[in-house]
Structure 1
Amino acid sequence: MTVVELRASPNEADVKASAERTIRTEIAAMALLADALKGPLGRDVARAVDMMAECAGRVIVTGMGKSGHIAAKAAATLASTGTPAQFVHPAEASHGDLGMITRADVILALSWSGETKELASILSYAKRFRVTVVAITSRAASTLGHAADVPLVLPIGEEACPLGLAPTSSAVAQLAMADALAVALLERRGFTPTDFHTFHPGGRLGARLQFVGDLMHRGQDVPLVPLGTPMREAIIAMSAKGFGTVGIVDAGGTLRGVITDGDLRRHLDSDILRQPVENVMSKAPKTIERDVLAGAALEAMNTAKISTLFVTEEGRLVGILHMHDLLRAGVA
């Protein structure tokens, strides 16, 4: 019969203290890494970025255990930010997956100790076919450190695990270095929000990366009247389109003002129906360009506390965007 020792449950204060200690320990490891970048590590990172940016193939990212999880995330981050990348599991490499690696690729191998046995097949293959290897490790004098063309040797900080065994601070350091490489490559390639949208069409992020021109109403759906229109006709146009606003344009199609429900309320004491629209309209309407990201349109609406924006292209009115359009698209 197995006797299970029951331990007293930690109280809330103990849990908070433990969580804070973990976070602060990992922050200290990040500070150590940032300081190391001011020395030889920084020069090695620059060399690694050059090699990955100039390779004609992909960045093959590999690692085992916790380093493998970080490597898989690194491959996904690289791929989504414009650097073709693929994760190759080192244990599967010797069973056929080495065929995924070509001479045109660069290998990014992660191992904190640098002695991960499962990496042997990949390192041997890289040496045989002269495939460039960049390593993220903590030991320059390790098997991986010696095999790498560019070893990125990270400083050894204190693990947050009180036993000093579970990869905690070390895993965060590897993740941060992989992110640093991805961001440096992103900036070097001149990666734009448009490029980002190409790789992120789904979900909330993809929705925010749509363009205003993709979501706006256009043509006959846009409530418009020309300068000089009597307010009686402008109110009919406003009501017919259902946006709670109407745009006032000149003969060239340039937006000169807008009339909203608020403008109508502010002029109730006057003989509003007989006035021309220019006497009632707001002459400095907020607009947005059609090639602006939907996320920016949402921010503009929230900042101005409005629910519609007229859309322009080189000064000419081309559409209207309502908060409901952003909601339907999943932006808001």
Structure 2
Amino acid sequence: MNARTAPPASKTPVNADAVVRSARTVIATEAAAIRALERRVDAAFVRACDMILACKGRVVVSGMGKSGHIARKIAATLASTGTPSFFVHPGEASHGDLGMIQPDDIVLAISYSGETDELLFILPAIKRQGIPLIAITGNARSSLASQADVHIDGNVASEACPHGLAPTASTTAALVLGDALAVALLDARGFTSDDFARSHPAGSLGRRLLLHIADVMHSGDDVPRVPVTASLSEALVEMTRKHLGMTAVVDADGRLLGVFTDGDLRRALDDDGVDLRGATVAQLMTRGPKTIGSDKLAVEAAQLMEKHQIHALLVTDADGCVVGALNIHDLLRARVV
């Protein structure tokens, strides 16, 4: 038997209708829990945002179990949207990691019950340092909520689990409240897409917003160029050597006069009136080609190519001199398109 053969199907066939009903019930339950949160964006939520904006340190997010997983995600979202933040495991905090939390920081603690022992155990140490505490719980009368400077209500009518045991709707509610905090803070800080890209340089958005033409273009001797007096054969040799499917045609000072491309060659071959043996590149080139500056974003080159249905661009400086060249393959390699 092939080692990759799929395991045998269950002896008890799945009841498709029951599976669909169960899944839809979960989605409806969690959607209702999220809708209920809108009414709780109140003065406490605003106070939490004010405290975080005034914080000179970082937002330390903590939670245990499933709430810990949510806390990690909230910390990551805050950090990537302009609010310095990191996660501290409450169990590890009481064994040395409390040293990671400094007086200028602020703590965001997440516990649906508000009675998580590991969180409550470290509260005295946090309070002794005068560190502000924001709590997201499902119980406003809990120990954690009562000790918090600000309590955000994450209560849900019921869990999506049919036994009401597995954290499902409650963790979704906490995650949404964390996202709401992050985005509200993002707006308040005036955090832009450029700022986001700087913290995500390896992502597609980062590449689109941070990568410039100078980062991807061919330059120096790698730029295909021939003098305006060059013959067609000389231009073809230059195109072949530089592998960009075109060559710049320049004057004696290096200023761009035109471009000769594979397309220009095909058109010349189709024109019975052109003497290919005696033709110069100046007779066949395209005058006034599309160009771009080296300080422009690489994504702008992609947009220009798409708009004009071209596959390569010459890069020129303020004096019209050719300083670089790139084609669609360069943008693909840079994952701009």
Q: The TM-score by the shorter chain falls in which range?
A: 0.7 to 0.9
Contact 1:139 1:153 in 2 (8 A): yes
State how far apart, in whole Å, the 1-side matches of 2:308 and 2:253 are.
27
Superposed, 1:106-117 pairs within 5 Å as 106-117=106-117
1:23 aligns with 2:24: no
1:152 aligned partner = 152
C-alpha deviation, 1:79, in angstroms: 2.4
State how far apart, in whole Å, the 1-side matches of 2:105 and 2:31 are.
34
Structure with the greater alpha carbon radius of gyration? 2
1:95 aligned partner = 95
Contact 1:211 1:290 in 2 (8 A): no
Contact 1:114 1:138 in 2 (8 A): yes
1:320 aligned partner = 325
Contact 2:110 2:136 in 1 (8 A): yes
Letter in structure 2 aligned against 1:19 = A
TM-score scaled to structure 1, two decimals?
0.78
2:221 aligned partner = 220
C-alpha deviation, 1:252, in angstroms: 8.0
Superposed, 1:124-163 pairs within 5 Å as 124-163=124-163
Map Cα deviations across residues 257-312 of structure 1 (whole Å, 9 max, x no partner): 54432232233233174265476417453747544256x76676667665434446
C-alpha deviation, 1:42, in angstroms: 4.2
C-alpha deviation, 1:83, in angstroms: 2.3
Letter in structure 1 aligned against 2:186 = L
Superposed, 1:11-90 pairs within 5 Å as 11-33=15-37, 35-36=38-39, 41-90=41-90
State how far apart, in whole Å, the 1-side matches of 2:192 and 2:229 are.
43
What is the DSSP-based 3-state SS (H/G/I as helix, E as strand, rest coil) of the residue aligned with 2:113? coil
TM-score scaled to structure 2, two decimals?
0.77
Contact 1:93 1:121 in 2 (8 A): no
State how far apart, in whole Å, the 2-side matches of 1:152 and 1:183 are.
16
Letter in structure 1 aligned against 2:263 = G
Gaps of 5+ in 2: 1-9
Map Cα deviations across residues 199-224 of structure 1 (whole Å, 9 max, x no partner): 44557676666513322211221223
Letter in structure 2 aligned against 1:132 = P
Letter in structure 2 aligned against 1:117 = D
Contact 1:248 1:277 in 2 (8 A): yes
C-alpha deviation, 1:127, in angstroms: 2.3
State how far apart, in whole Å, the 2-side matches of 1:114 and 1:147 are.
10
Map Cα deviations across residues 101-132 of structure 1 (whole Å, 9 max, x no partner): 12100111111222222211332223222211
Q: How many residues align?
A: 322
Change (3 A) 1:291 1:178: farther
Q: Percent of counterpart pairs with the same letter?
A: 48
Gaps of 5+ in 1: 1-5
Q: Which moved more, 1:53-62 or 1:15-24?
A: 15-24
What is the DSSP-based 3-state SS (H/G/I as helix, E as strand, rest coil) of the residue aligned with 2:144? helix
What is the DSSP-based 3-state SS (H/G/I as helix, E as strand, rest coil) of the residue aligned with 1:139? coil
1:237 aligned partner = 238
State how far apart, in whole Å, the 1-side matches of 2:189 and 2:318 are.
28
Change (3 A) 1:315 1:168: farther
Change (3 A) 1:121 1:264: same
Contact 2:34 2:173 in 1 (8 A): yes
State how far apart, in whole Å, the 2-side matches of 1:142 and 1:312 are.
67
Q: Which moved more, 1:58-67 or 1:232-241?
A: 232-241
Letter in structure 2 aligned against 1:260 = T
State how far apart, in whole Å, the 2-side matches of 1:315 and 1:7 are.
77
C-alpha deviation, 1:88, in angstroms: 1.2
2:6 aligned partner = none
What is the DSSP-based 3-state SS (H/G/I as helix, E as strand, rest coil) of the residue aligned with 2:135? strand
Letter in structure 1 aligned against 2:327 = H
Contact 1:90 1:122 in 2 (8 A): yes
